[in-house]
Amino acid sequence: MLECALGFAFRAAAYWSRHPVARLRPDGRRRVLIVAPHPDDEAIGCAGTAMLHVDAGDHVCIAIATDGRLYPSVPTADEVAMIRRHEAEHAARLMQVERLVWIGLPEGAWDLSQLKTSLGALLIETRPDIVYAPSRLDFHPEHLKVAHALALALEDLDGMEPSVRVYQIQVPLTTLLVNLVSDVSSMRARCDAVLDAYASQVSSVQCTYRQRYYAARRHGISTLAEEFWQIPAKRYIRLHRAPPTQPSKAFRGMRPFPLSDPLAFLFGRQERRIIGSSGLES
């Protein structure tokens, strides 16, 4: 009942924002790269959309930057990393993506140049038309650092300018930034299966169901939707070229309890406005 009431509220807010939002329609002619800071971020951010790309015939590659070893679910960090890799491989099989690249740098103990080099080589190899990416609209230091590394890798590319689609992990993009939405209603059961593959991350992934539900209400979609902020690679680079300095309290993520969901959309509203208006210079 609470989620339903919040859904109506978000729908009303979207109506009054009058912000133009395009519908995503994969055409089967694209090369797609999804960059995830941790194993599960790709599922939280764009699992349904990834499967729409796959079903349309697009070539989809997922790259997992770090091994997620700092999540305290089992006694040793090495065991956590092993579990999370197995979960990522299971999720990738369920999504039927063409390729999973496990970069797997040790969470919390990796050098920026390592990831920049790995992502740069992968970008050259895959030559993506579309890159799904994390962004500075976040509070997690590793999400911010991965976005920075990706921007530096993109900047080094010669003659390649993919479209970048920023996805939301725990922090909503909100109507201030969303300009592309993907109707993943037909993917409901498959999305559930992909998210369930991350059994060790139940507390992290459970709110993603509400994110998709709220997105659907905002855009008049039947059941589930995924939202993105699509920008040119050059703008993504300008926004993320500098080392991340975003204070951790600027944004708030979705929490396990729906009652606090509006706060995730309200916290950082001014920061979203600033980010949305920056990086526009030619």
Reported confidence tier of residue 10, pLDDT bands at 50, 70, 90:
low
Task: Identify the pLDDT of residue 46.
Answer: 98
Query: Which letter does DSSP use for residue 279 in this model?
Result: S
What's the rounded Cα separation, in Å, for the pair 75 and 249? 30
Task: Identify the pLDDT of residue 186.
Answer: 96
**Structural domain includes residue 212:** yes
**Structural domain includes residue 34:** yes
For residues 10-16, average pLDDT? 51
Q: Which sign, positive or negative, has the C-alpha torsion 123, 145, 35, 173? A: negative
Q: What is the CATH number of the domain that holds 196?
A: 3.40.50.10320
Task: Identify the pLDDT of residue 203.
Answer: 82
Calculate the alpha carbon distances from 207 to 44, 223, 259, 260 in Å: 9, 15, 12, 11
**Structural domain includes residue 63:** yes
Q: Which domain holds residue 236?
A: 2-277
Task: Identify the pLDDT of residue 75.
Answer: 76
Task: Identify the pLDDT of residue 159.
Answer: 83
* DSSP states along 6-47: HHHHHHHHHHHH----EEP---S--EEEEEESSTTHHHHHHH
What's the rounded Cα separation, in Å, for the pair 39 and 59? 20
Task: Identify the pLDDT of residue 282.
Answer: 45
Lookup: tokens for 192: 């559930």
* Strands, E assignment, 79-199: 99-105, 130-133, 163-167, 180-183
- How many structural domains is the chain composed of? 1
**Structural domain includes residue 282:** no
In this predicted structure, the answer to whether residue 103 has a pLDDT above a threshold of 70 is: yes
In this predicted structure, the answer to whether residue 199 has a pLDDT above a threshold of 70 is: yes
- Lowest-confidence range among 52-61, 148-157, 189-198, 253-262? 253-262
The SS3 of residue 235 is helix
The SS3 of residue 180 is strand
- Lowest-confidence range among 3-7, 30-34, 51-55, 172-176? 3-7
- Lowest-confidence range among 22-26, 126-130, 212-216, 250-254? 250-254
